[in-house]
Structure 1
Amino acid sequence: MGVKLEVFRMALYLTFPVTMFWISNQAEWFEDYVILRKRELWPPEKHQEIEEFKERIRKQQEEKLLHAVQQNS
Protein backbone atom coordinates (compact mmCIF):
# COMPACT_ATOMS: atom_id res chain seq x y z
CA MET A 1 0.00 0.00 0.00
CA GLY A 2 2.92 2.34 0.64
CA VAL A 3 4.06 2.64 -2.98
CA LYS A 4 0.52 3.05 -4.30
CA LEU A 5 -0.14 5.80 -1.77
CA GLU A 6 3.06 7.62 -2.71
CA VAL A 7 2.22 7.37 -6.43
CA PHE A 8 -1.26 8.76 -5.73
CA ARG A 9 0.15 11.62 -3.65
CA MET A 10 2.75 12.47 -6.30
CA ALA A 11 0.08 12.44 -9.02
CA LEU A 12 -2.08 14.72 -6.90
CA TYR A 13 0.83 17.08 -6.18
CA LEU A 14 1.60 17.37 -9.88
CA THR A 15 -1.96 17.46 -11.19
CA PHE A 16 -3.20 20.36 -9.07
CA PRO A 17 -0.61 23.01 -10.10
CA VAL A 18 -0.63 21.91 -13.74
CA THR A 19 -4.45 22.10 -13.82
CA MET A 20 -4.50 25.52 -12.18
CA PHE A 21 -1.86 26.78 -14.62
CA TRP A 22 -3.85 25.44 -17.57
CA ILE A 23 -7.11 27.01 -16.34
CA SER A 24 -5.58 30.40 -15.61
CA ASN A 25 -3.95 30.58 -19.05
CA GLN A 26 -7.17 30.15 -21.00
CA ALA A 27 -7.72 33.24 -23.16
CA GLU A 28 -11.51 33.15 -22.75
CA TRP A 29 -11.18 33.01 -18.98
CA PHE A 30 -8.76 35.92 -19.03
CA GLU A 31 -11.11 38.01 -21.18
CA ASP A 32 -14.19 37.19 -19.14
CA TYR A 33 -12.85 37.56 -15.64
CA VAL A 34 -9.76 39.76 -15.68
CA ILE A 35 -10.32 42.32 -18.41
CA LEU A 36 -14.03 42.81 -17.74
CA ARG A 37 -13.36 43.12 -14.01
CA LYS A 38 -10.64 45.69 -14.70
CA ARG A 39 -13.03 47.71 -16.86
CA GLU A 40 -15.64 47.49 -14.13
CA LEU A 41 -13.24 48.78 -11.48
CA TRP A 42 -11.60 51.43 -13.65
CA PRO A 43 -14.00 52.59 -16.36
CA PRO A 44 -12.57 54.48 -19.37
CA GLU A 45 -14.03 57.77 -18.08
CA LYS A 46 -11.83 57.47 -15.03
CA HIS A 47 -8.77 56.97 -17.21
CA GLN A 48 -9.39 60.39 -18.75
CA GLU A 49 -9.67 61.98 -15.30
CA ILE A 50 -6.46 60.30 -14.18
CA GLU A 51 -4.61 61.46 -17.29
CA GLU A 52 -5.81 65.03 -16.75
CA PHE A 53 -4.68 64.87 -13.13
CA LYS A 54 -1.25 63.57 -14.16
CA GLU A 55 -0.94 66.40 -16.68
CA ARG A 56 -1.81 69.02 -14.02
CA ILE A 57 0.74 67.58 -11.61
CA ARG A 58 3.40 67.48 -14.33
CA LYS A 59 2.78 71.13 -15.20
CA GLN A 60 2.95 72.14 -11.54
CA GLN A 61 6.27 70.35 -11.15
CA GLU A 62 7.65 72.00 -14.29
CA GLU A 63 6.55 75.43 -13.03
CA LYS A 64 8.22 74.81 -9.65
CA LEU A 65 11.41 73.71 -11.35
CA LEU A 66 11.36 76.70 -13.71
CA HIS A 67 10.75 79.05 -10.78
CA ALA A 68 13.63 77.50 -8.82
CA VAL A 69 15.97 77.81 -11.80
CA GLN A 70 14.99 81.45 -12.34
CA GLN A 71 15.65 82.28 -8.69
CA ASN A 72 19.09 80.66 -8.79
CA SER A 73 20.06 82.61 -11.93
Structure 2
Amino acid sequence: MYELGRSGAQVICATHSPILAATPDADIIEIGEHGFRRTRWEKLELVDHWRRYLDNPSAYLRHLVDGGGDDGGDDG
Protein backbone atom coordinates (compact mmCIF):
# COMPACT_ATOMS: atom_id res chain seq x y z
CA MET A 1 0.00 0.00 0.00
CA TYR A 2 2.81 2.36 0.86
CA GLU A 3 4.47 1.93 -2.54
CA LEU A 4 1.14 2.41 -4.31
CA GLY A 5 0.60 5.66 -2.42
CA ARG A 6 4.09 6.85 -3.27
CA SER A 7 3.39 6.19 -6.95
CA GLY A 8 0.37 8.52 -6.81
CA ALA A 9 -2.32 5.86 -6.55
CA GLN A 10 -5.18 6.25 -4.10
CA VAL A 11 -5.86 3.28 -1.83
CA ILE A 12 -9.03 2.85 0.20
CA CYS A 13 -8.58 0.19 2.86
CA ALA A 14 -11.17 -0.72 5.49
CA THR A 15 -9.42 -2.66 8.25
CA HIS A 16 -9.39 -3.66 11.89
CA SER A 17 -5.63 -4.15 11.69
CA PRO A 18 -3.51 -1.60 13.55
CA ILE A 19 -0.58 -2.76 11.42
CA LEU A 20 -2.25 -1.89 8.11
CA ALA A 21 -3.59 1.33 9.61
CA ALA A 22 -0.01 2.33 10.48
CA THR A 23 1.01 2.61 6.81
CA PRO A 24 3.39 5.59 6.63
CA ASP A 25 1.88 8.84 5.30
CA ALA A 26 -1.65 7.37 5.36
CA ASP A 27 -4.58 9.77 5.51
CA ILE A 28 -6.72 8.00 8.13
CA ILE A 29 -10.48 8.48 8.32
CA GLU A 30 -12.20 6.65 11.17
CA ILE A 31 -15.88 5.73 10.98
CA GLY A 32 -17.83 5.34 14.20
CA GLU A 33 -20.74 6.62 16.25
CA HIS A 34 -19.33 10.08 15.62
CA GLY A 35 -19.65 9.64 11.85
CA PHE A 36 -16.53 10.17 9.76
CA ARG A 37 -13.48 11.88 11.22
CA ARG A 38 -9.91 12.37 10.16
CA THR A 39 -7.51 11.17 12.84
CA ARG A 40 -4.01 9.97 13.61
CA TRP A 41 -3.05 6.34 14.12
CA GLU A 42 -2.41 6.91 17.83
CA LYS A 43 -5.99 8.16 18.27
CA LEU A 44 -7.76 5.29 16.49
CA GLU A 45 -10.27 3.39 18.63
CA LEU A 46 -8.93 0.09 17.29
CA VAL A 47 -5.42 0.98 18.47
CA ASP A 48 -6.80 1.82 21.91
CA HIS A 49 -8.67 -1.50 22.05
CA TRP A 50 -5.58 -3.49 21.04
CA ARG A 51 -3.44 -1.68 23.61
CA ARG A 52 -5.93 -2.45 26.37
CA TYR A 53 -6.18 -6.08 25.24
CA LEU A 54 -2.41 -6.54 25.16
CA ASP A 55 -2.11 -4.89 28.56
CA ASN A 56 -4.66 -7.26 30.16
CA PRO A 57 -5.87 -10.09 27.89
CA SER A 58 -7.65 -11.89 30.73
CA ALA A 59 -10.04 -8.95 31.11
CA TYR A 60 -11.18 -9.54 27.53
CA LEU A 61 -11.12 -13.33 27.57
CA ARG A 62 -12.49 -14.11 31.02
CA HIS A 63 -16.06 -14.54 29.75
CA LEU A 64 -14.81 -17.25 27.39
CA VAL A 65 -12.94 -19.21 30.03
CA ASP A 66 -15.28 -18.53 32.97
CA GLY A 67 -18.38 -19.96 31.31
CA GLY A 68 -19.75 -16.87 29.57
CA GLY A 69 -20.86 -14.90 32.63
CA ASP A 70 -22.12 -11.32 32.37
CA ASP A 71 -19.21 -8.91 32.56
CA GLY A 72 -21.44 -5.87 32.99
CA GLY A 73 -20.36 -4.39 29.66
CA ASP A 74 -22.37 -3.77 26.56
CA ASP A 75 -22.45 -6.16 23.62
CA GLY A 76 -20.71 -3.71 21.25
TM-score w.r.t. structure 2 length? 0.27
Normalized per residue, the structure richer in strand is 2
Q: Between Structure 1 and Structure 2, whose CA radius of gyration is higher?
A: 1
User: Higher relative contact order at CA 8 Å, sep ≥6: structure 1 or structure 2?
Assistant: 2
